[in-house]
Structure 1
Amino acid sequence: MADGISSFWGPVTSTTEWCEKNYVYSSYIAEFYNTTSNIPCILLALIGLINALSQRFEKRFSVLHISNMILAIGSMLFHATLQHVQQQSDETPMVWEMLLYIYILYSPDWHYRSTMPTFLFLYGAVFAAVHSQIRFSVGFKVHYAILCLLCIPRMYKYYIYTQDVSAKRIAKLYAVTLFLGSLCWLFDRVLCNEVSLWPFNPQGHAMWHVLMGFNSYFANTFLMFCRAQQLGWAPKIAHFMGALPYVKIEKPKSQ
């Protein structure tokens, strides 16, 4: 904690702290950079949501973009307070979001359409109930990593079956941001003692937030393109303000 600044939220009760000094800039924000670095994720998810709604994509993508925003807001609450309850508002949406990705990735080939969303919904509800009562740090990370690993083979399958060069480029950006973000996360986590001796903190966890905000946007955009192809909507990759990619579709008149 910075000298002369008291904590509005009281003692730290979360099971995890990051390599950023607490309450340096405000008594209301424990980790300033880790809190504010979630803003790009919210903005990118909002752009994705507007695109999904304006072009009438399936509701699953609107829910996915909203879940990205909920996750970022939960992360802001956690890093601003470092309280256990707010930590759950970060970690539980992380799991819910991965369950959404699993549904979107696997549902096109799932023959029993009602069983998969029902199972994933119940799984998410049970996890939230258990996680609210039991503190587990390493177990949560392992569980989350397993959910992520379930998505990667399916993403790779979509990549190799996609012929559009622009869509493949977005998939590559997804992979690059995931790799760089993971390095920043590990750097902040493993080398914190060394970083604490430096004259400046590179804020590895904050960089993780920014990179994962773009990572989620690229993942969503690529999946929207692949789904539009499955539905025969003639998707194309356009660019917002000449930079940010998004999916533009042309639905058949019958739809």
Structure 2
Amino acid sequence: MAEGISSFWGPVTSTKEWCEKNYVYSSYIAEFYNTVSNIPCILLALIGLISALRQHFEKRFSVLHISNMILSIGSMVYHATLQHVQQQSDETPMVWEMLLYLYILYSPDWHYRSTMPTFLFLYGAVFAIVHSQFRFRTGFKVHYVILCLLCIPRMYKYYIHTKDTSAKRLAKWYVVTLFLGSLCWLFDRLFCKEISGWPVNPQGHAMWHVLMGFNSYFANTFLMFCRAQQRDWAPKVVHFMGIFPYVKINKPKTQ
């Protein structure tokens, strides 16, 4: 994209740019909207983290919410600088996050408890090293999509075994935000030349950030509900400030 004012970070070295003009508002922020659109994602993950900590959910959910925050911060750094090194701080946490989802989704039925986290940890470490050395583009996207697809059958299983209407609504919002976010991402990528000639840029990639922040929040909340059911914690979906859904549990005294 054509640049406006001078760049504090130097020439762009990332393997891709998005449909937003660089350095329009500040010499320190390459893509302003793509950067600030990560803030809602961080705040939503913070709400989820506070809920998990206050109610003493299993540590896996605290780690999951923190990983959402790390991913959003990494995305902010990447879009602010458009440097190759910072690009890794966006893409590598994306893979780590999906590995966490795989663990949370499949671990309840995994008989050998130590093998799955060990394998996923090593897989994530190897990927981080390899991805830092090779500038994967299409390969990264394909790899990420495969990890996402591995989660879908298990999410669907959880959905059909959940009877609570409010919890099922969370899963539906997860699907809606994923669909809308994907449309925004594709629109931004495929029609960038046309968008560049419009009086106003709809900022499709920034909208993708916001929608995926809500997508992660709905997914995390739904998984917390399902896990609480597995542990017989009598979960129910309530709302913070009448807006943001979260899971309230009632653990038996023996736990």
| TM-score normalised by structure 2 residue count | 0.99
Matched with 1:82 is 82
C-alpha spacing 1:2/1:131, structure 2 compared with 1 (3 Å): closer
Read off the aligned partner of 2:60 and give its amino acid letter: R
Read off the aligned partner of 1:144 and give its amino acid letter: Y
- CA distances 1:59-97 after superposition (whole Å, capped 9, x unpaired): 000000000000000000000000000000000000000
Correspondence list, 1:142-161, <5 A: 142-161=142-161
Correspondence list, 1:45-124, <5 A: 45-124=45-124
Which runs of 5 or more structure 2 residues have no equivalent in the other structure? none
Matched with 2:18 is 18
Matched with 2:219 is 219
- CA distances 1:138-196 after superposition (whole Å, capped 9, x unpaired): 00000000000000111010000000000000000000000000000000000001101
SS in 1 for 2:239: strand
Q: For 1:158 and 1:36, locate their aligned partners in 2 and report how far apart those are by CA, in whole Å.
A: 34
Matched with 1:246 is 246
Q: For 1:169 and 1:132, locate their aligned partners in 2 and report how far apart those are by CA, in whole Å.
A: 39
Correspondence list, 1:187-206, <5 A: 187-206=187-206
Which runs of 5 or more structure 1 residues have no equivalent in the other structure? none
Matched with 1:186 is 186
Matched with 1:136 is 136
Matched with 1:8 is 8
Matched with 1:29 is 29
Matched with 1:40 is 40
Identical columns (%): 85
| TM-score normalised by structure 1 residue count | 0.99
Read off the aligned partner of 1:136 and give its amino acid letter: F
Matched with 1:125 is 125
SS in 2 for 1:237: strand
The runs of 4+ residues in structure 1 deviating greater than 6 Å are none
Question: Per-residue deviation at 1:2?
Answer: 4.2
Q: For 2:216 and 2:156, locate their aligned partners in 1 and report how far apart those are by CA, in whole Å.
A: 16
Read off the aligned partner of 1:232 and give its amino acid letter: D
SS in 2 for 1:245: strand
How many equivalent pairs are there?
Answer: 254
Read off the aligned partner of 2:207 and give its amino acid letter: M
Q: For 1:203 and 1:8, locate their aligned partners in 2 and report how far apart those are by CA, in whole Å.
A: 23
